Amino acid sequence: MKYLPIDSQLFVRNRKKFISEMKPNSLAVFNSNDIYPIGADSTMPFQQDRNIFYLSGVDQEESILVLFPDCSKENHREILFLRETNDHIAVWEGEKLTKEKALETSGIKTVYWLSEFERIFKELMSQSETVYINTNEHYRASIETQTREDRFNKWLKEKFPAHSVAKSNPILQRLRSVKDPIEIALIQEACDITEKAFRRVLGFVKPGVWEYEIEAEMMHEFLRNRSKGFAYTPIIASGNNANVLHYIENNKQCQDGDLILFDTAAEYANYSSDLSRTIPVNGKFTDRQKAVYNAVLRVKDEATKLLVPGTLWADYHVEVGKIMTSELLGLGLLDKADVQNENPDWPAYKKYFMHGTSHHMGLDTHDYGILTEPIKANMVFTVEPGIYIPDEGFGIRLEDDVVVQEKGEPLNLMKNIPIEAEEIEALMNS
Is the predicted pLDDT of residue 89 greater than 80, yes or no? Answer: no
123 C-beta neighbours (distance < 10 Å), count: 12
Element (H, E) at 402: strand 400-403
Element (H, E) at 105: helix 99-106
Domain ranges of the chain: 9-176, 181-428
d(CA 136, CA 150): 10
Q: Please tell me if the domain spanning 9-176 has the same topology as the one spanning 181-428.
A: no
Q: Which of 173, 176, 170 is nearest to 23 (CA)?
A: 170
* Strand pairing report for 110-113 and 78-82: parallel
CATH of domain 181-428: 3.90.230.10
186 C-beta neighbours (distance < 10 Å), count: 25
d(CA 145, CA 253): 35
> Taking a C-beta distance cutoff of 8 angstroms, is the pair 352, 333 a contact?
yes
Predicted TM-score of the model (pTM): 0.96
pLDDT in tens, 259-295: 999 999 999 999 999 999 999 999 999 999 999 999 9
Q: Which of 362, 38, 138, 368 is nearest to 231 (CA)?
A: 362
pLDDT in tens, 208-239: 999 999 999 999 999 999 999 999 999 999 99
Residue 350: what pLDDT?
98
Is the predicted pLDDT of residue 254 greater than 90, yes or no? Answer: yes
Q: Which of 310, 316, 309, 312 is nearest to 407 (CA)?
A: 309
- Just list the catalytic residues: 41, 246, 263, 274, 355, 359, 366, 384, 388, 397, 399
> Three-state SS for 66?
strand
pLDDT in tens, 374-401: 999 999 999 999 999 999 999 999 999 9
Higher pLDDT, 293 or 89: 293
Is the predicted pLDDT of residue 90 greater than 70, yes or no? Answer: no
CATH H superfamily, domain 9-176: Creatinase/prolidase N-terminal domain (3.40.350.10)
pLDDT level of residue 139 (50, 70, 90 thresholds): confident
**What residues contact residue 50 under an 8 Å CB cut-off, 6+ apart?**
176, 270, 363, 364
pLDDT level of residue 367 (50, 70, 90 thresholds): very high
Q: What percent of the chain has pLDDT over 70?
A: 99
